[in-house]
Amino acid sequence: MLDTAIQRLKNAGYKLTNARRMVLEILCRDDAHLTSAEVLERASLGKDPIGRATVFRTLDLLTELAIIRPTYLRPGTPHYIVMPENGHHAHIICPKCQRVIEIDDCEIEGLLDELVLRHKIKISGHLLELYGECEYCR
Amino acid sequence: MLDTAIQRLKNAGYKLTNARRMVLEILCRDDAHLTSAEVLERASLGKDPIGRATVFRTLDLLTELAIIRPTYLRPGTPHYIVMPENGHHAHIICPKCQRVIEIDDCEIEGLLDELVLRHKIKISGHLLELYGECEYCR
DNA sequence: ATAATACTGAGAGTAAGTATCAATTAGGCG
DNA sequence: CGCCTAATTGATACTTACTCTCAGTATTAT
Ligand SMILES: [Zn+2]
Ligand SMILES: [Zn+2]
Ligand SMILES: [Zn+2]
Ligand SMILES: [Zn+2]
């Protein structure tokens, strides 16, 4: 996933800098949903820590390139997901406690084909958010 | 849509206050994707303006009740959508310029039924975000 | 109408994100 | 490889977004 992400960054004509590689590594490593603050924290640990502004700039750039995607799991600040090669991600969010259940297989292709035809737009990825009270909140 | 939203608020055991009605009215009226600042701005116009903290509290409460949903359209702050009675919303976002194309009919039921069975969770709504460069960015 | 309780608003405080600009670095080219 | 140039970075200051607190107010039930 990391290699793919780096390749997409390069293909878009951007330089692969230490900061960008590190942000991508952090997001890919944990394969988690991290906030900007969490990325910043992890990026400050090793040698060659990355500056505050650079983390925000990098997250914005990667979002624009659709390599990562922000999603609101709880009030305040978004959590970032690395979009896999096929551009799919799906999870269920409990709106009450904000727990997240990951969905591994996302069978949505049929629907997408139809939408693409109708709206004449090339869809490169998606995020399906489902909401429902989780077992702990019921 | 407003009436449904108010009913859901009451059913959850919350009081229908002037502030809550006003926030819901603003979000339903424009049927748009508004930020907290935009809601606050509109809520400050008439007589009986709502306080800053109350707007944020109300947005959080309505989100927790799944009556509205925050979505990421551009860096900074989330945009809020009123979830309709059936809990569906779908739009296509261009990650490059952040333009949004609304999708009116969201035929996703078959997929959802299967997920519900597998994850033993009652899904009450969803947001499907599709990403793809828009016609202006290509 | 009264009472109990949920809710609100003002204002101060904290956290998140942005702007600026001089210094640095990646990547192309000879 | 080593230079060149444009892209990128980081420090700092700044702006905007959001949260906390608590005394006062409004809502609902009886
Ligand atoms: Zn997820
Ligand atoms: Zn829950
Ligand atoms: Zn929409
Ligand atoms: Zn666009």
B131 vs A69: CB contact, 8 Å cut-off?
yes
Residue-wise pLDDT tens digits, A38-82 = 999 999 988 899 999 999 999 999 999 999 999 999 999 999 999
Distance CA B116, CA B83 (A): 19
* Same domain, residue pair B57 and B5: yes
A120 vs B135: CB contact, 8 Å cut-off?
yes
Task: Report the CATH number at residue A54.
Answer: 1.10.10.10
Q: What H or E segment, with its residue span, contains residue B91?
A: strand B88-93
Q: Nearest nt to A13, CA vs C1'?
A: D7
* Same domain, residue pair A125 and A108: yes
B120 by DSSP, 3-state: which? coil
CA neighbor of B131 nearest in space, from A35, A67, A33, A114: A67
Length of chain B equals 138
Six-digit token string for A28: 């890919």
* Same domain, residue pair B74 and B91: no
* Same domain, residue pair A75 and A95: no
* Same domain, residue pair B48 and B19: yes
Structural domain of A119:
86-138
* Same domain, residue pair A11 and A70: yes
CB contact set of B120 (below 8 Å; sequence gap of 6+): A135
pLDDT at B94: 93
Task: Report the CATH number at residue B116.
Answer: 3.30.1490.190
Number of domains in chain A: 2
Cite the beta strand spans of chain A per DSSP E: 34-35, 68-71, 79-82, 88-93, 100-102, 125-131
Six-digit token string for A17: 């800098």
Distance CA B93, CA B73 (A): 7
Distance CA B36, CA B79 (A): 7
CA neighbor of B40 nearest in space, from B22, B28, B21: B22
* Same domain, residue pair A72 and A29: yes
* Same domain, residue pair A35 and A72: yes
Decide which of B122 and B130 is more confident: B130
What pTM value is reported for the model? 0.93
Residue-wise pLDDT tens digits, B85-118 = 889 999 999 999 999 999 887 777 777 777 777 7
Q: What confidence category does residue B36 fall into, taking pLDDT thresholds of 50, 70 and 90? A: very high
Specify which residue's alpha carbon is closest to the C1' of nucleotide D25. Answer: B17
Distance CA A106, CA A89 (A): 7
* Same domain, residue pair B115 and B78: no
CA distance B42 to chain A (A): 21
Residue B29 is which amino acid? R
Distance CA B107, CA B99 (A): 22
* Same domain, residue pair B77 and B22: yes
B79 by DSSP, 3-state: which? strand
* Same domain, residue pair A128 and A71: no
Residue-wise pLDDT tens digits, B109-123 = 777 777 777 777 788
* Same domain, residue pair B62 and B13: yes
Distance CA B138, CA B122 (A): 40
Read off the pLDDT of each residue in B19-32 and give the average, rounded to a whole number: 94
Decide which of A119 and B66 is more confident: B66
Residue A17 is which amino acid? T
